[in-house]
Amino acid sequence: MIKTILPEKTIGIIGGGQLGRMLAMSAKEMGYKIAILDPSFDCCGRQFSDIFIEALFDDTESIEKLCKISDVVTFEFENISATVLEKLEKVYNIVQSAEVLKITQHRYYEKEFAHRLNIPTVDYIYIEENTNIDIEKTYLMKTVRFGYDGKGQKIISKKEEIEQYTILEELITLDKEISVVAVKDKFDIQIIAVVENEHKNNILFRSKVPTTATEEQENFAIEYTKKILENIEYYGVLTVEFFISKGKVIFNEIAPRVHNSGHITMQSATKSQFRAHIEAICGLRVGKIQNRETTLYNILGQDLEYFKNLITKKQGFLHLYEKEPRKNRKVGHINFYGNIILGGYDEQ
C-alpha cells in the first residue's frame, strides 16, 4: 500500500530539468522539502532543492543516497536505469515502478503492451539484427530506445535503408494528435486534461484545451489511458499520446511522468499536473479536475525574445525555465486563456 507522506517530509526527484524544476516548485508550495539528483550542477531545478546530488543517472550509489534521504522518490523522465530502479524499489519508496520504465523505454515492448490491452496501434515491424526484410510501403523508422523530439527517426521506403534495433511504423494520414494527461492516486484514476497538440519539426509547438476531437474520440482515448493505468503498478501522473487518423484513435506512446503538453494545466486546470503528481505520489487524494479553454505555446531558444516582448503587450502566463537559450532548446512556455492564434508567428 502506498505510504502517506505529509508536508515537511522530503521528496526526492531524479532529474533537475524543467519538469523536475516545476515538480519541485509545486511541492515547495505545499511545504515539502526537495532533494534533486542530476549530472549538471547548473540544471534549472537545482535552485529549488534543499539537497542537491550531482551524479549521473546510472550511478547506483548516488541514486541510493537520494532514496535514503527521501521519504518518496519520483523521476522527471524515463531514460534512467530500470534495472537500478527495480533493485531500489524493493527497499525504498519509489511509486513509479521499474515495470513501467521497462515498457516505455523500448518502443516494441510499448506497442506489444498496448496490443495486449486491445488498444489500437499503427502497423509496425520490429527489427533486431536481421535487416534483410522486404518492405513495400513507406515507414517511419525509429530507434527502439532513447528517441525524443524526432531524434532517432527517419522516413524510409527501401530495405537497404533499414537499420538494426529499430521499429518501422507505417505512415498514416494524420487528422490530429491528442494527449491524455491522467493521474492515479491510491483512491482512483482522474483525468487532468485531454490536450490537442501541434508539432513543428517534431517538437511541440502549440497545445490547446479543449480539443477539436469528437466526444467519442476523446472517450476512447480516456478509456485506453485508464486501461493502461489499471494494468501497471504505478502512482502519479502518466500521459498517453494518441494519433487520430481517418476518425480512428490510435495509440502512439506512453510518458510515465508529467508531460510537456500538460504544462497547459498550470492555467487550464483547477489543479496542475505538477500538483496532482505530488499529491498522488505522497498518498493524498487528487480529486476531480476541471478545465477551461486555454492555449499553450512552447518557447524554444531562438524565439525567447519574441515571447518576452509579447508579454509586455498581451496578457498571458509566461513560464521560463532559466535555461541558456539555444536553437530548438525548450526554455519555457506561455499559456493564454481562450483559443489564441499568434498571427505571423504561427506561419514562421
Q: Which cell is 1 given?
A: 500500500
- 148 is annotated as contributing to ligand binding: yes
Q: Which cell is 14 given?
A: 531524479
- 151 is annotated as contributing to ligand binding: yes
Q: Which cell is 318 given?
A: 509566461
- 253 is annotated as contributing to ligand binding: yes
160-to-131, 143, 163, 171, 302 alpha-carbon distances in Å:
8, 16, 8, 18, 37
Q: Which cell is 163 given?
A: 537499420
- 149 is annotated as contributing to ligand binding: yes
- 54 is annotated as contributing to ligand binding: no
User: b vs e for 17-56, b when ≥16 Cβ sit within 10 Å of the residue's Cβ?
Assistant: bbbbbbbbbbbbeeebbbbbbbeeeebbbbebbeebbbbe
Tell me the residue type at 17. G
- 345 is annotated as contributing to ligand binding: no
- 177 is annotated as contributing to ligand binding: yes
Q: Residues near 1 by Cβ (< 8 Å), separated by ≥ 6?
A: 186
- Rounded Cα–Cα distance for residues 243 and 341 (Å): 22
Q: Which cell is 312 given?
A: 509586455
- 170 is annotated as contributing to ligand binding: yes
- 106 is annotated as contributing to ligand binding: no
- 152 is annotated as contributing to ligand binding: yes
Strand order in the sheet with 236-245: 248-255, 236-245, 176-184, 189-200, 203-209, 294-300, 330-337, 317-320
- 107 is annotated as contributing to ligand binding: yes
- Does residue 321 contact residue 277 with C-beta atoms inside 8 Å? no
Indicate the annotated binding residues: 107, 142, 147-153, 169-172, 177, 199, 252-253
Indicate the annotated binding residues for ATP: 107, 142, 147-153, 169-172, 177, 199, 252-253
